[in-house]
Amino acid sequence: MTLGAQEREARLWVDVDVRTAVPAEAPVDEAFVRRVLEAAARRLDVRGEVSVSFVSDEEIHELNRRYRRVDRPTDVLSFSMLEGEAVPGPEDERPLLGDIVVSVPTALAQAQAYGHSAAREIGFLLVHGFLHLLGYDHGDEAAEQEMFGLQEAILNDVGLTRAAQDKRASADPGRKGTP
């Protein structure tokens, strides 16, 4: 099957599923998600399909417990479909990259705690999850620097820059990374 000209120009196909109540300040609409993830795909020269679900703390807690054996909620989970395969390049038509699951309540609480917008936090979590889909990790210092440097560059690409009042570094020095 040959892709049409418009389909060939698209770099990322995104399916957004909102499964929890979402306050007005949380940008979980398809346009926002697509803009952030398209920027990541362009920067990394990747094509593919991604599913994004926005869920409650209870739902992400259950997923975290079931798949990671961690019995608490978290902010974002990624379920890669690549598992050891090479990251698809721009010549691949439409490979399924995986699923990203974001807890809306946790994202909003973190945005407030760290002094930046809900858009910045949700954008950070989307990019963080997307990079995990592609095999990026932050298990050692070099990998962490690479991953968090990419996150910051992608967020800057879409105008989600760190605000001067961002308190993340001082608010939670134990958490790695800077959204």
Binding residues for Zn(2+): 128, 132, 138
Binding residues: 128, 132, 138
Q: Which residue has the tokens 């926005």?
A: 54
The CA-based angle 56-29-58, given to 5 degrees, is: 5
Cβ–Cβ under 8 Å, residues 50 and 130: yes
Helix 118-133 to helix 104-114 angle, to the nearest 10 degrees? Answer: 120
CB 49 within 8 A of CB 95: yes
Query: Given CA atoms 155, 81, 100, 92 in this order, what sign does their dihedral have?
Result: positive
Q: In angstroms, rounded to a whole number, what is the distance separating the alpha carbons of residues 50 and 34?
A: 10
